[in-house]
Structure 1
Amino acid sequence: MDKLALVLCCMPLAALDAEAPSVVPLLVAVIAACLGEVVPPRRRAWPSIAYAVAAVFAQALLPFLPLAAYDLARPSGHDASAAEPARSLPRPAARALMCAAPIAAAATGGSTSPLACGLSAGLCLAAALMAARTRDVEVQRSANHRQRDALREQALSLAEKNRDLMDRQDYQVRVAVLEERSRIARSIHDNVGHLLTRSILQTQAQQVLHAEEPATCEAFSQIGATLNEALDTVRASVHDLHDDSIDLAAQMRATLEGAPCPVSSTIQVEAAPAAVANCLVAVTREALSNVARHSDASRIELSLVEHPGFWRLSIADNGSSERAATPPASAGDAAAFATSTGLGLTSMEERVRALGGTFSAGPRPSEGFAVFASIPKDNRSG
């Protein structure tokens, strides 16, 4: 738009000299202006410099010199750097002064009227000011774009953090609900269940004491039957409440929070029976305990995946095998080592095999120690 406005302003200037052809200088000026838009930024001023040099020798090009002044006043690729190389073109302000040479030559030669020279100089100055204004607008637009991108990036980061906080809050609420259900189940089992059991024993004792009184004995028998039914109902409710309080994925993540080193976990399970969940959590807890006491690992990899026919748990660390093979220094350490590793691995294997699964544990070929457990989905685990 700036160059179009300059062309319209230069047309009356070209009409001041009736003898000078106006079509050829206009075409040459337009070609030079178009080349300034398509060439690389660092070579943008070259067509305008050539036009300014040609205007010194061809006075007919003088009316459209403001187009060249506009491109000369625009920053090139070298002007964007803080330190311009010595071989690069002059700065925009210095380049714009090159337009004074053709005007001075025309004024000195007398081939162009002083009015035309003055108007041409004024338009060149206006073109330089327009180029400076356009440069400021482009710089401000670029700064606005950068600020917009920074704000958008910050908004996306805040949204991601908000999602993480919401997920974390949902997870904590879920864990708290499960823990409360488990506490209620234990409370009912320990209190109400024991009271009902004691009441049943008392009714049975009263039946023995009143064995010779059939009516009284029958009454205590009915009371005992009612208490037995209530106890069975309480036990079923407690088991259902306890099973509902078991979320394998939530318990596994809660267990990993106490890991001795960073854990890279992959947990892909929907639901699991209480026996399977308790077994896998116990195996994980014991494996993490062994890493904390007998390994110099700095990273643990855990994978818990539910397949169509079985649950698979694998835990591996990157500890050195030399430390694991180092014998204990004292008798007390030896006893603790034997108790924690031998009985710990045995307990894990017994838990898994009790559900019909497979278990293996031992050093990895490359480094560290690995524990693997697989439990099938059958009647014993469900």
Structure 2
Amino acid sequence: MGYFFDCGLLVFYGFLSLFFMPPEAGFLIAFLCCICLICLGYAVKRKWLRLFFDIVFGLLGLVFPEVFLFYPCLFYLLFHEKMPGLAVAGMVLFLCQMPEAWQNRGMFAAAGVFGFLLAFLMERNTRKGQNLEEELRRTQDDSKERNLLLSQKNKALQEKQDYQIYNATLKERNRIAREIHDNVGHVLSRSILMVGAAKTINKEPGMDAMLENLEDSLNHAMNSIRSSVHDLHDEAVNLEEVEKGLVKEFTFCPVEMTFDMTRQVPRNVKYCFISITKEAFANIMKHSNATRVRLILREHPALYQLCVEDNGTGASYDPGKSGIGIVNMKERVNALGGTMQISVDKGFRIFITIPK
């Protein structure tokens, strides 16, 4: 620490006076007072109290002249407190009150002036070093903060780009499914009809088996295309976008939606959650006087979770007399091995969990 290093050097500078005068009790008292002053200057937080101790130490030289030998430490502390006027006053007191009994008074006066200048230069250099260190720390903190913000922005941009790619992939799957359905499906349907007509008007027995095989092949191709189109369409369902669309279409009251699921949600879970959300929103509009709805979809390590709750007070629930909508919800959830809980304590709440 620059503060204690500088003060230690100035204390050592005061000890050099022992080459020119014998050590006495007053010197030991002055040394101990100087050490206490240095520690108080570092530990005390209030500036006025530190200045009070500095002034007391300076006036102590009128009682114990040996205190003058450690005045460079006092000068340093006053410069550290940005009180150069008091430091100059201390220097004048040192020159005016120096004991006449000291031999080589001129040498001690020169040493005091040199100590004054030394304290000023040391404090200024230490302050510059501390300012540079603070500036370096601020620069490093700003750099880390900028890097962190940049990293977060890059992550957000990457996630946005991945989502756009994912969404574009789903749209392309839908387009391909439509193209297959509209073009190839219609051609195969027309071909099947034509084969059926050919079988009807055919009068050659040898052609029956060939037309039968051709019809079976076309029907098999038609079934394969239908299955592929359905798979493409089902895989292209974006659960988050569909749920957002349902929330946007629900104008009965505001909906707060929380979606925290990955994109690898099974197809049957997607359709289950979409159907239950539709039914829950329909029930809220029919049976609830809610003014706020919360829709929560979360994925956990072992299960998928759906929660729809409102703050309505008019809805009631009797497990033995459930409507067709609630029954359909339970059947969908049970088919996936999940559980559904309904509570009406503080509004109507549907809580569903489906294991992975």
Q: TM-score, normalised by structure 1?
A: 0.69
Q: Number of matched residues?
A: 335
Between the aligned partners of 1:59 and 1:242, the Cα distance in structure 2 is: 99
Equivalent of 1:7, from 6, 11, 32?
Answer: 11
Tell me, yes or no, if the aligned pair for 2:191 and 2:218 is still in contact at 8 Å: yes
Aligned-partner SS, 1:186: helix
- Matched residue type, 1:110: E
Partner of residue 184, structure 2: 192
Name the CA shift for 1:74/1:351 in 2 (closer, same or farther; >3 Å): same
Once residues 143 and 186 of structure 2 are traced to their aligned partners in structure 1, the CA distance between those partners, rounded to angstroms, is 63
Structure 1 residues 261-316: Cα deviation after superposition (integer angstroms, max 9, x where no partner): 563415457755534422422443565688799978466342455796x8652222
Asked if the contact 1:276/1:375 (under 8 Å) is kept, the reply is no
Contact 1:248 1:269 in 2 (8 A): no
SS in 2 for 1:56: coil
Q: Residue 277 of structure 1 aligns to which amino acid in structure 2?
A: K
Match of 2:214, SS state, is: helix
1:30 and 1:360 map into 2 onto residues whose CA distance is: 77
| Counterparts of 1:301 and 1:23, CA distance in 2 | 81
| C-alpha contact (below 8 Å) 1:263/1:301 kept by paired residues | yes
AA aligned opposite 2:146: Q
Q: Deviation digits for residues 325-350 of structure 1, max 9, x if unmatched?
A: xxxxxxxxxxxxxxxxxxxx988557
Instruction: Tell me how far apart the structure 2 counterparts of residues 9 and 163 of structure 1 sit (CA, whole Å).
Output: 59
Counterpart contact for 1:303–1:313, Cα < 8 Å = yes
* Local SS of the residue matching 2:61: helix
Cα contact 1:349–1:359 (8 A) shared by 2: no
Q: Aligned equivalents of 1:371 and 1:57: distance in 2?
A: 85
Other structure's SS at 1:224 match = helix
* Shift of residue 99, structure 1, vs aligned partner: 1.8
Equivalent residue number for residue 332 of structure 2: 355
1:49–1:72 CA contact under 8 A, matched in 2? no
The question of whether the paired residues in 1 share the 8 Å contact of 2:290 and 2:313 is answered with no
In 1, the alpha carbon distance for the partners of 2:284 and 2:140 equals: 48
* CA-CA distance at 1:166 after TM superposition: 1.7
Report the Cα offset of residue 30 of structure 1. Answer: 5.0
CA contact (8 A) 2:296 2:307 kept: yes
Are positions 1:18 and 2:9 aligned together? Answer: no
Is 1:238 matched with 2:229? yes
Gaps of 5+ in 1: 76-90, 325-344
The 2-side partners of 1:297 and 1:147 are apart by 50
1:110 counterpart = 2:96: no
**1:267–1:304 Cα contact (<8 Å) kept:** yes
User: C-alpha separation between the residues in 2 aligned to 1:36 and 1:375?
Assistant: 65
Q: Distance in 1 between matches of 2:77 and 2:333?
A: 83
1:29-68 aligned at under 5 Å gives the runs 31-32=35-36, 34-36=38-40, 39-42=43-46, 43-68=49-74
Q: Report SS of the residue matched to 2:146.
A: helix
Matched, 1:163 2:140: no
1:68 positional shift: 1.8
Deviations 1:134-186 (A, max 9, x none): 23433443344234323322322332232222222212221221222123223
Determine if contact 1:255/1:285 at 8 Å carries over to the other structure: yes
Write the mapping of 1:296-307 to structure 2, written as runs, cut at 5 A: 297=291, 300-304=294-298
Residues 83-112 of structure 1: per-residue CA shift (max 9 Å, x gap) = xxxxxxxx62243245235414435x5334
Question: What residue is the counterpart of 2:111 in the other structure?
Answer: 119
Give the Cα–Cα distance (whole angstroms) in 2 for the partners of residues 249 and 307 of structure 1: 19
Per the TM alignment, residue 207 of structure 1 is displaced from its structure 2 partner at its CA by 0.8
Q: Which amino acid aligns with 2:21?
A: A
* Contact 2:72–2:112, Cα closer than 8 Å, also in 1: yes
Residue 209 of structure 1: how far off its partner (Å): 0.1
**Paired position in structure 2 for 1:335:** none
Map of 1:311-350 to 2, 5 A cutoff?
312-318=305-311, 349=326
Q: Following the alignment from structure 1 to structure 2, what is the Cα–Cα distance between the partners of residues 314 and 375? A: 9
* Structure 2: distance between partners of 1:20 and 1:41: 34
In 2, distance between residues paired with 1:299 and 1:44?
62
Contact 2:294 2:308 in 1 (8 A): yes
The SS at the match of 2:101 is coil
Partner of 1:372: 350
CA RMSD of aligned residues (A): 4.1
Whole-angstrom CA distance in 2 between matches of 1:262 and 1:129: 69
Q: TM-score, normalised by structure 2?
A: 0.73
- 8 Å CA contact 1:29–1:67 kept in 2: the answer is no
